[in-house]
A = this chain, B = another copy of it.
Amino acid sequence: MNKTFVSADDVAKRAGVSRSAVSRTFTPGASVSEETRQRVMQAAEALGYHVNQLARGLMRSESGIVCLVVSEMDTPYRARLVRALTHELQLAGKISMLINTDRSDGSVDTALRQTLHYRADASILLSGLPDKAITKLCLDSGQRIVLINRDDEIEGPFRINLDDGVAARVAVSAFLRAGCRRLAFANSAVGTPSLMAREQGFVAAARDFGLDVTVVRHGNTVYESGRTIGRTLFSGLEPPDAVFCVNDLMAFGLMDAARHEFGRRIPDDLCVVGFDDIEQSGWSSYALTTFTQPVDEIVRNSIAWLVNGDASSRSAFLHAPLIWRKTIRGTRRNG
C-alpha cells in the first residue's frame, strides 16, 4: 500500500470497464446493467475505493456541507442543539462543519468567510450575528443561512425565534398565583435580542399587574453570573420572593447562592423560573421549573428550509412551554 487514495480510474481498470461506468454505479438513480454494477462493486471493495466528495462537489453545484457556526458550544443548550442538528443533517444526507467563534477577532464574519471557502450549501448560526455585507455575500453565492434565536432585523436568512414575550407573561402569572409580590429579573449583560425580549416582556407583564421588577444584569449568561446576582439581590434591603432567570444556568447559580449563602428555602421563601430546560434542570438538587426550548422543532424547521427550496417562508416563531417542577409553589396550571 502506498498511502494514497484510490480513484475511479483505478477501479475502472481493474473491473475492465470505463470510468463512466464506475461513476454511474455510485450515482443513485443512474442506469447500469446488473453485471457491470457487480463487477465494479467487487473491484471497488477489493481496492478500497470511496467516492471523492470533494470532486463530486466540484462538479455538481452542491457540496453537501452545512456549516454550524457556534461559540461556547459546551454550554448545555448549545451542545444539545449541535447534537440534534448534526444528527438530523446526517439523516438528510448532509455533513456538518463546525466553526468555533470563541476567539474575539471579528470571528463571525471570518467564520462565514470560511463557509464560502468550503462551498458550504448552507450555514446555521447559533451564536453571534454576521455583518450585513457578509450575509449578502453568502446569499449571493447561493448559500442558505439560518439564524437561530438571533435577530429579527436582518433580511435574507431564515430566522427561528421563540415567543419570549408570551413566556415572560406566563412566568409573571405563575409567580402571582404563587403569591409572590417582590419580583426580580436576572439577566446577563450580553444583550442578545432574545434575552432582552424576555426581560422586557417580564417587566411589561408585571407592570400590567401594577408591580415593579428589580432588574439586574451581570456578566455572561452563565452559572457564576447567576450566583453573583443572587448575592446582590439577597443582601439588599428588599430581597425578592420570585426571580425569573434568563436561562437555567443563571438560575442554578442564583439558587445555590440563595440556599447556601442566605438560607433561603425554595420554593417556600423564594420562587424561581428559568429558561432552556437543560438536562440539569431535572436533577433533584434543582428541580427547576423552566421554559423548554423546542429543540426538535427548531431542528426540523431549520433542515426543512435548508433541503427544500421553500424560499417563501422566511421565519418561524415557536412556542416555549413551561415545564413545571418544584421551584414554584402552589398548584400547577397550563403554561
| Interface hits, A48-62 → B, CB 8 Å | 48, 50-55, 57-58, 61
Task: Tell me if A5 counts as interface (CB < 8 A to partner B).
Answer: yes
Judging by beta carbons under 8 Å apart, are A256 and B279 in contact?
no
Q: A83-B73, A285-B285 are in contact. Are A68 and B252 (CB under 8 A)?
A: no
Within 8 A of B (CB), among A253-273: 253, 255-257, 259-260
Cβ contact within 8 Å between B283 and A252: yes
Closest 8 CB pairs of A and B: A74-B79, A79-B79, A86-B100, A50-B116, A1-B140, A3-B142, A256-B284, A53-B117
- Count identical subunits in the complex: 2
Q: How large is the interface on A (under 10, 10 to 19, 20 to 34, 35 or more residues)?
A: 35 or more
Cβ of A82 under 8 Å from chain B: yes
Q: What are the residues of chain B within 8 A of A99 when measuring CB–CB?
A: 86, 90, 95-96
Contact B100 A48 (CB under 8 A): no
Q: How far is A95 from B98 in the complex, measured between Cα atoms in Å?
A: 8
Give residues of chain A (65-91) contacting chain B, Cβ–Cβ below 8 Å.
68, 72-76, 79-80, 82-83, 86-87, 90
Residue of B nearest to A6 (CB): B141
The CA-CA distance from A306 to B90 in the complex, in Å, is: 25
Is A118 part of the binding interface, using a Cβ–Cβ cutoff of 8 Å? yes
Q: Indicate which residue in B79, B118, B255 contacts A73 across the interface (CB closer than 8 Å).
A: B79
A residues neighboring B (CB under 8 Å): 1, 3-6, 48, 50-55, 57-58, 61, 63, 68, 72-76, 79-80, 82-83, 86-87, 90, 95-100, 102-103, 113-114, 116-119, 137, 140-142, 223, 227, 252-253, 255-257, 259-260, 279-280, 283-286
Q: Which residues of B contact A6 (CB under 8 A)?
A: 141
Cross-chain pairs A/B with CB under 8 angstroms, 15 sampled: A1-B140, A3-B141, A4-B142, A50-B113, A54-B55, A76-B76, A79-B79, A86-B98, A96-B97, A96-B99, A255-B285, A256-B284, A257-B284, A280-B280, A285-B285
A129 CB, min distance to chain B CBs, angstroms:
20
Interchain CA distance A257-B284 in the complex, whole Å: 8
Contact A118 B102 (CB under 8 A): no
Q: Are B83 and A223 in contact (CB under 8 A)?
A: no
Residue among B58, B74, B114, B141 making CB contact with A80, cutoff 8 Å: B74
Residues of B within 8 A of A279 (CB): 74, 223
Asked if A95 and B119 make an inter-chain contact with CB atoms under 8 angstroms apart, the answer reads no
Distance of A101 from chain B, by nearest CB (Å): 9
Known contacts A55-B58, A90-B100; can you find 11 more A-B pairs with CB under 8 A?
Answer: A3-B140, A5-B116, A51-B117, A54-B118, A72-B83, A74-B76, A74-B279, A76-B76, A95-B114, A227-B284, A260-B285
